[in-house]
Chain A
Amino acid sequence: MSTLVLDNGANFAKIGYSHEKVSVIPNGQFRSKTSRLKTFTASQLDEIKDPSGLFYILPFQKGYLVNWDVQRKVWDHLFGKDMFKVDFADTNIVITEPYFNFSSIQDTMNEILFEEYQFQSALRINAGSLSAHQYFHENNSELCCIVVDSSFSFTHIVPYCRGRKMKEGICRINVGGKLLTNHLKEIISYRQLHVMDETYVINQVKEDVCYVSQDFYKDMEIAQLKGEDNTVMRDYVLPDFSSIKKGFCKPREEMNFTGKYKTAEQILRLTNERFAVPEMLFHPSDIGIQEMGIPEALVNSINNMPEEMQPHFYKNIVLTGGNTLFPGFRDRVYTEVRALAPVEYQVSVVLPQNPICYPWEGGKLLAENPDFEEMVVTREDYEENGHYVCEEKFDI
């Protein structure tokens, strides 16, 4: 009997057997302008030589799994002979779902897992709960932690106490990596070059050049300077997928501060965009989304918790999700929370070594837990008792 751990994200599926390592695989299907007849599924994305104008077919909308046709095609590929070769009758699955997942989606998930794929047993859980499980294992004297999951679709802030999530404290900010990339596409298209169709390329630009500012107004001033004094400015060479396969930043020695470049390369000049885009995680109102940013929401969440627990939450803030990889993210969250928190409380913000796979690692740990057998719902259980037994056992 083996256990497959699947952190089923809106952008990436983090998947692997609990006794092996994790793989990070795109959770969707893709179509390319050049290979016009084929639809590429999940890891087949690597086969696309020219991802310009790449067309995305994703099972998730606004962070919730709505398109089962596409999801099943991805899972067929992941569970099939090209990848994990799952022997369903002999496999448990630990699979993640978003917070407050709709009951209709949960029911469909039960059907797909038990009636279609026929897994021997399943455990459905929030990814943040797996992160909390991992955190408490690494810090076993702590009773409370607050998990920040800032990923593709949105950002959730969730307090956990003794392993249970505190529902009243769950806060959702509707800013995620997808929104950051789309916003970057829009401002580049408005100011420099039409890139609205180039999600794949601009997402790479975002990951390569964007960072979180520690002093927003100071960086703004520097970004306005001319020539070499503008230490924020970067020139990004866009890929053409023939001679330049992957985009890159020009090293500062090669940058032309005064005139135009003589070469045939397409170049994006980025200044305040570099830090203004990730800034939306801290000030969603910059773009017109009337919601708090991450530090304010963290403090707000903690203030809604019982007073005796509050210092424990401030001491155990855990950052997970792809957006936490922006350089400077952790330090900025710390500085802002420190400024807002009561001075007598200790503030500690932890960024794990791999924030994208942290929930998966928690899932692996859970699969090895001696109580694991009692947490799952077996296929026999489900066939006898239906959705009810899943509603009882799983805390989504």
Chain B
Amino acid sequence: SCKSSCSSHSDILSSSVRSQDPNQRRVLDSATRQRRLTRQLEALEKDNFQDDPHASLPQLVKRLPQFDESNESGKRRKKTRGDHFKQRFRKNFQTLLEEEDLSVSEGPNYLTACAEPSKFPLRHFCALCGLPSNYTCVSCGARYCCVRCLGTHHETRCLKWTV
């Protein structure tokens, strides 16, 4: 059985990118890897990965009144519904956080409340199958657990997968 696993090993190695000249294979530096990780984490905060179904609708159709609006009684149309208030009501999170100017505040606040890093050792998991991983892809830093997963990673995802 050692013989058969050795031959399948070399099959994978010969068809994978590892057999190429290492100088030809792009290697990301740690700053780039950190940027990719940050982008991945930010993507986890998204509400939608697809476009708004209404985005391509012609303008005329978009102005069709919704049932709620047409049934509102006159006294509900207060000044706060006017256009000049709209910008204030739609700021994004980052802007609001900056406006709060927490660096000058004393005592506990949104920023100080954030949990500190864990004191326990980190664990790593294979990006392909989710099992515990001991190895890192030389090019992009993705984790893998065995040569088979690395082969699949190089063939399909290495430096190609973005959210």
Cβ of A266 within 8 Å of any chain B Cβ, yes or no, is: no
In this complex, what residue of B is CB-closest to A28?
A: B47
Complex CA–CA separation, A115 to B80 (angstroms):
8
Beyond A171-B113, A288-B37, is A296–B118 a contact (Cβ under 8 Å)?
Answer: yes
How far does the Cβ of B79 sit from chain A's closest Cβ, in whole Å? 8
Complex CA–CA separation, A61 to B64 (angstroms):
28
Enumerate chain B residues within 8 angstroms of A273, measured Cβ to Cβ. 130
Contact of A191 among B97, B114, B120, B128 (CB under 8 A): B128
Enumerate chain A residues within 8 angstroms of B2, measured Cβ to Cβ. none
Whether the Cβ atoms of B92 and A292 lie closer than 8 Å is: no
Question: 1/0 contact trace for B38-68 toward A, CB 8 Å?
Answer: 0011011111111011100100010010101
Beyond A32-B53, A285-B123, is A182–B78 a contact (Cβ under 8 Å)?
Answer: no
Whether the Cβ atoms of A291 and B125 lie closer than 8 Å is: no
Cβ of A286 within 8 Å of any chain B Cβ, yes or no, is: yes
From A112, A289, A297, name the one whose CB has the most chain B CB atoms within 10 angstroms. A289
From B44, B89, B107, B110, name the one whose CB has the most chain A CB atoms within 10 angstroms. B44
Enumerate chain A residues within 8 angstroms of B113, measured Cβ to Cβ. 99-100, 156, 170-172
Cβ of B6 within 8 Å of any chain A Cβ, yes or no, is: no
Enumerate chain B residues within 8 angstroms of A33, measured Cβ to Cβ. 53
Enumerate chain B residues within 8 angstroms of A224, measured Cβ to Cβ. 131
Beyond A37-B64, A272-B130, is A168–B108 a contact (Cβ under 8 Å)?
Answer: yes
Question: 1/0 contact trace for B117-136 toward A, CB 8 Å?
Answer: 11110110101111110000
Enumerate chain A residues within 8 angstroms of B122, measured Cβ to Cβ. 285
How far does the Cβ of B83 sit from chain A's closest Cβ, in whole Å? 11
Enumerate chain B residues within 8 angstroms of A220, measured Cβ to Cβ. 131-132
Whether the Cβ atoms of A64 and B93 lie closer than 8 Å is: yes
How far does the Cβ of B137 sit from chain A's closest Cβ, in whole Å? 14
Enumerate chain B residues within 8 angstroms of A320, measured Cβ to Cβ. none
Whether the Cβ atoms of B108 and A80 lie closer than 8 Å is: no
Complex CA–CA separation, A217 to B120 (angstroms):
16
Enumerate chain A residues within 8 angstroms of B90, measured Cβ to Cβ. 66-69
Complex CA–CA separation, A199 to B128 (angstroms):
21
Whether the Cβ atoms of B116 and A300 lie closer than 8 Å is: yes
Whether the Cβ atoms of A104 and B115 lie closer than 8 Å is: no
Enumerate chain A residues within 8 angstroms of B109, measured Cβ to Cβ. 100
Enumerate chain B residues within 8 angstroms of A20, measured Cβ to Cβ. none
Cβ of B84 within 8 Å of any chain A Cβ, yes or no, is: no
Complex CA–CA separation, A52 to B107 (angstroms):
46
Cβ of A354 within 8 Å of any chain B Cβ, yes or no, is: no
Whether the Cβ atoms of A197 and B49 lie closer than 8 Å is: yes
Enumerate chain A residues within 8 angstroms of B155, measured Cβ to Cβ. none
Complex CA–CA separation, A197 to B90 (angstroms):
24
Complex CA–CA separation, A23 to B118 (angstroms):
38
Cβ of B3 within 8 Å of any chain A Cβ, yes or no, is: no
In this complex, what residue of B is CB-closest to A99?
A: B113
Beyond A61-B92, A76-B68, A178-B45, is A283–B108 a contact (Cβ under 8 Å)?
Answer: no
Beyond A66-B96, A100-B109, A292-B118, is A108–B89 a contact (Cβ under 8 Å)?
Answer: yes
Enumerate chain B residues within 8 angstroms of A58, measured Cβ to Cβ. 47
Cβ of A346 within 8 Å of any chain B Cβ, yes or no, is: no
In this complex, what residue of B is CB-closest to A68?
A: B89
Enumerate chain A residues within 8 angstroms of B57, measured Cβ to Cβ. 36-37
In this complex, what residue of A is CB-closest to B64?
A: A37
Whether the Cβ atoms of A173 and B123 lie closer than 8 Å is: no
Enumerate chain B residues within 8 angstroms of A196, measured Cβ to Cβ. 49-50, 163
Whether the Cβ atoms of B96 and A167 lie closer than 8 Å is: no
Cβ of B26 within 8 Å of any chain A Cβ, yes or no, is: no
Beyond A37-B61, A167-B108, A190-B127, is A293–B118 a contact (Cβ under 8 Å)?
Answer: yes
Cβ of B11 within 8 Å of any chain A Cβ, yes or no, is: no
Question: 1/0 contact trace for A5-44 toward B, CB 8 Å?
Answer: 0000000000000000000000000011100110101000
Enumerate chain A residues within 8 angstroms of B54, measured Cβ to Cβ. 31, 36, 39
Complex CA–CA separation, A282 to B157 (angstroms):
28
How far does the Cβ of A294 sit from chain B's closest Cβ, in whole Å? 9
- Chain A, 151-193, CB within 8 A of any chain B CB: 156, 167-168, 170-174, 178-179, 182-183, 185-187, 190-191
Cβ of A256 within 8 Å of any chain B Cβ, yes or no, is: no
How far does the Cβ of A250 sit from chain B's closest Cβ, in whole Å? 20
Question: 1/0 contact trace for B146-163 toward A, CB 8 Å?
Answer: 000000000001000101
> Can you list 22 A-B contacts with CB-CB less than 8 angstroms, sorted by A residue number?
A36-B53, A55-B48, A58-B47, A67-B89, A67-B90, A80-B71, A167-B107, A170-B108, A174-B115, A178-B44, A182-B45, A191-B129, A224-B131, A272-B130, A276-B130, A283-B118, A285-B117, A285-B123, A291-B115, A292-B116, A293-B118, A300-B115
Chain B residues with CB under 8 Å of chain A are: 37, 40-41, 43-50, 52-54, 57, 61, 64, 66, 68, 71-72, 78-81, 86, 88-93, 96-97, 99-100, 107-110, 113-120, 122-123, 125, 127-132, 157, 161, 163
* Other A-B pairs, 4, CB within 8 Å; known A171-B115, A190-B157: A115-B79, A116-B80, A190-B127, A197-B49
Q: Which 8 A-B pairs have the closest CB atoms?
A: A68-B89, A291-B115, A61-B93, A100-B110, A196-B49, A272-B130, A197-B50, A290-B117
